[in-house]
Amino acid sequence: MRQSLLALLAKEPAHGYELKQALETIFGSAYPSPNIGQIYVTLGRLEKDGFVRSVDVEQANRPNKKVYYITATGREALETWVEEPTEGPRVRDEFFMKLVLAPMTGLSDRMALMNRQRRHYLALMRDLRELADQTDPANRVALLLIEGAMLHLQADLDWLERCQEDLP
Amino acid sequence: MTDTPVVRAVNLVKIYQTGALPVPAVRGADLTVDAGEFVAIMGPSGSGKSTLIHMLGGLDTRTSGEIWLDGRRADTLSESGWAVLRREKIGFVFQFFNLVASMTVADNVELPALLGGAPPRQARERREYLLGELGLADRADASPAQLSGGEQQRVALARALANQPRLLLADEPTGNLDSRNTRDVLRLLGKVHTQGQTIVLVTHDARVASMADRVVSLLDGQIVDDGAIPKSRRRPAGGVGDVVELRS
Ligand SMILES: Nc1ncnc2c1ncn2[C@@H]1O[C@H](COP(=O)(O)OP(=O)(O)O)[C@@H](O)[C@H]1O
Ligand SMILES: [Mg+2]
């Protein structure tokens, strides 16, 4: 979330609540609605690192509000983040660990684990399909995010099938 | 409507005897599908999915075991007996379409309904509805050879549904489709399923499989899993919060 907040602040200064709303508008229902506390914690850390600063703006009849803006250091950090290649998907998969280690625990056999996991993946896929159906067709960002999640899930299922073929 | 299952296969076995060695493709499958159920069959390539679904549609003979369709013993039928049964009760979507090359798309889709005794007007209306749902309304007068693989596959699905069959059998019906066309197929499958269509389909596509009530997994010719796709545990009201994980 650090980088998303920096990117939003690179466009214009904003206070915490505006940042929350901007994230919601851009990513739609595909994005977990960020909790305002989390946003302020992250802003606090960014400020400590010198990436953003804040000013208190007085408001009539209301407490002051804190407006954040990006610093030169923050802009540099943001540029580095945008330009460096992004890590590939995770290489350590929790389910795979369970699968490999299951026979040692004597608790569950691999076949049962794999079958349960397949049904679980399909249940997740059903959620994603329903979410895509409920998403505003004009929100390309949210739909692409959902499509990405579906493609990852498909890859997980294909991998599961390979495990089922090759693990004794 | 009765409680008789639409499909009941008992200890179904298929051993191909084409080469020097016998190939056991399906090894003792038991499967029951109730009216209105949607069952997805999954499994690695070569695990026997096509063989199983072909046997259920009478397109491959069984080596042993029983097949009951709508309460009637079917595995003992002659080839012409199966042909009649298919015409009356089964819509089949092949992995490689099998459209009649000399007929237009429209005629391909209307044919099963006409053979099933539907009045021409009704057959035409059903055809127009199905092609429309699959984004193919403007291809009605084309011949199959003029269509892309994905278009032919959707025509094959429309044809299989023309007769509102008791049972829809489909072998990888989205295997050649891009993401948008797959969405059209999913929407249509969802609609007919809601209207009570019984569906058994083979698929690798998790989006398709996730439409089903139940998933049957094959491995080396055996059913290793058969059960409902669970309701997801973390069903949020408005949106799925964990499509992306937030990292602070
Ligand atoms: N006509 C055939 N003659 C001989 N062997 C076949 C024939 N059709 C399929 N097989 C074999 O039977 C097994 C299951 O095939 P199939 O049912 O097509 O699997 P799937 O559809 O799951 O990929 C495979 O080993 C395949 O090579
Ligand atoms: Mg096959």
Q: Is the pLDDT of residue A87 over 80?
A: no
Both tokens assigned to A166: 């090759």
Q: Which pLDDT band, with edges at 50, 70 and 90, does B246 fall under?
A: very low
Look at residue B237 in the predicted model and tell me its pLDDT: 44
Q: Is the pLDDT of residue B38 over 90?
A: yes
Kindly state whether residue B45 falls inside one of the protein's structural domains: yes
The range of the structural domain enclosing residue B50 comes to 35-61+77-230
Mutate to test the pocket of ligand 1, among B41, B51, B203 (most ligand atoms within 8 A of CB): B51
Are B91 and B163 spatial neighbours (Cβ–Cβ below 8 Å)? yes
Instruction: For B44-84, write each residue's pLDDT tens digit.
Output: 999 999 999 999 999 999 999 999 999 999 999 999 999 99
Beta B167-171 vs B64-69: how paired, if at all?
unpaired
Share the mean pLDDT of chain A.
88
Mutate to test the pocket of ligand 1, among B17, B41, B50 (most ligand atoms within 8 A of CB): B50
Ligand 1 centroid – CA B10 distance (Å): 20
Ligand 1 centroid – CA B20 distance (Å): 15
pTM of the model: 0.86
Q: Is the pLDDT of residue B2 over 60?
A: no
Task: Tokens 């915490």: give the residue.
Answer: A16
Q: Is the pLDDT of residue A109 over 60?
A: yes
Beta B23-33 vs B7-16: how paired, if at all?
antiparallel
Kindly state whether residue B163 falls inside one of the protein's structural domains: yes
Average pLDDT over residues A134-158: 92
Look at residue B247 in the predicted model and tell me its pLDDT: 39
**CB atoms < 10 A from the CB of A96, how many?**
16
Instruction: Write down the domain spans for chain A.
Output: 2-83, 94-166
Kindly state whether residue B17 falls inside one of the protein's structural domains: no
Residue of A nearest to B43 (CA): A161
Structural domain total, chain B = 1
Does A131 lie at the interface with B, CB-CB under 8 angstroms?
A: yes
B186: closest CA among B166, B205, B160?
Answer: B205
Look at residue A92 in the predicted model and tell me its pLDDT: 65
**In this predicted structure, which of A135-149, B130-144, B173-187 has the lowest mean pLDDT?**
B173-187
CA A10 – CA A90 distance, rounded (Å): 29
Kindly state whether residue B50 falls inside one of the protein's structural domains: yes
B114: left (phi over 0), alpha (psi -120 to 50) or beta: alpha
CATH number belonging to the domain at A2-83, selected among 3.30.2040.10, 1.10.10.10, 3.40.50.1260, 3.30.450.40: 1.10.10.10
For residue B27, the cross-strand partners are: B13
Q: What is the CATH number of the domain that holds B98?
A: 3.40.50.300
Average pLDDT over residues B178-204: 92
**Dihedral sign, Cα of residue B49, residue B82, residue B66, residue B159:** positive
Average pLDDT over residues B82-94: 92
Which residues in chain A are closer than 8 Å to B246, comparing Cβ atoms?
Answer: 1, 32, 34, 38
For residue B38, the cross-strand partners are: B199
Selecting from A111, A115, A131 the residue whose C-beta is nearest the C-beta of B240 gives A131
Element (H, E) at A21: helix A16-27
Q: Which pLDDT band, with edges at 50, 70 and 90, does A26 fall under?
A: confident
Per mean pLDDT, which of A20-24, A109-113, A135-139, B9-13 is the most reliable? B9-13
CA B36 – CA B49 distance, rounded (Å): 21
Q: Which residues contact B25 (CB under 8 A, 6 or more apart)?
A: B14, B15, B16, B48, B51, B221
Beta B38-42 vs B214-219: how paired, if at all?
parallel
Share the mean pLDDT of chain B.
90
Q: Is the pLDDT of residue B244 over 70?
A: no
- Label residues B213-232 b or e (16+ Cβ within 10 Å = b): ebbbbbbbbebbbbeebeeb
